[in-house]
Amino acid sequence: MATFDLADRPLRELNAELHRQAAIVREGGTAEKQWEILNSRGSHAVAVGVDAPLDITVRGNVGYYCGGMNQSGTIRIEGSAGPGLGENMMSGMISVSGNASQYAGATGRGGLLVINGNASSRCGISMKGIDILVRGNVGHMSAFLAQAGNLVVLGDAGDSLGDSIYEARLFVLGQVKSLGADCIEKEMRKEHIALLESLLTRAGISDVTASDFTRYGSARELYHFDVDRSDAY
């Protein structure tokens, strides 16, 4: 395992080295695939743009945009994360042992994002295929404009969950303060239970039962603008 200490070397150098190693992997060469990052101290943009199956462990808290645009990488954060964790993630896996700030997983197109603490507002905003699992609570406007993918919340959800949602699936074990425009409670069928069980297994969670969750999704009434219902938009 390679070790990179951000107390001694600049962040730009870290990301450049991760990109260099990723390029070696893509070309079939021998690269350093396992990385340990020390003294992150809330640094921003740690491990952004990783596009190969590197395994990266960050020992400490990170600032905004950690793991942004991740593709194929596995990034583990032993601490909490600032805004935009895993933004526009394409594939791979990101996990954070603590909490995540605003818009975690925003616009994510694939991969798995696991937040073992709480997530703040707009978690999963405009998600486009990513799977997000939050052990704690999510804040207001989570899954706003969510187009595809799955948001799983083991705690509670704040105001306006799933506002203007498209075809993403939301699973909540706790209470929902309020649902956003065009988001409704839906039947939890066998295929949804099987899907949720698979997601929980991928996230390493075995202490909850999939059938205890409530599913939410789109009522499909706002797909086309209707001037007679303009107050709903």
Query: What is the maximum alpha-carbon separation in the chain?
Result: 62
77-97 pLDDT per residue, tens? 999 999 999 999 999 999 999
Q: Is residue 225 scored above 80 in pLDDT?
A: no
Contact between 62 and 83 (Cβ < 8 Å) = no
Lowest-confidence pick of 23-32, 133-142, 144-153, 184-193: 23-32
- Buried/exposed 169-183: b ≥16 CB within 10 Å, e otherwise: bbbbbeebeebbbbb
- Domain 2-205+213-218, what architecture? 3 Solenoid (2.160)
Contact between 108 and 86 (Cβ < 8 Å) = yes
Report, as an integer, the average pLDDT of 105-118: 98
13-40 pLDDT per residue, tens? 999 999 999 999 999 999 999 999 999 9
Domain limits, the chain: 2-205+213-218
Secondary structure (DSSP) of 93-149: EEEESS-B-TTTTTT--SSEEEESS-B-TTTTTT-EEEEEEESS-B-TTTTTT--EE
Report, as an integer, the average pLDDT of 172-193: 97
Return d(Cα 176, Cα 161) in angstroms, integer.
7
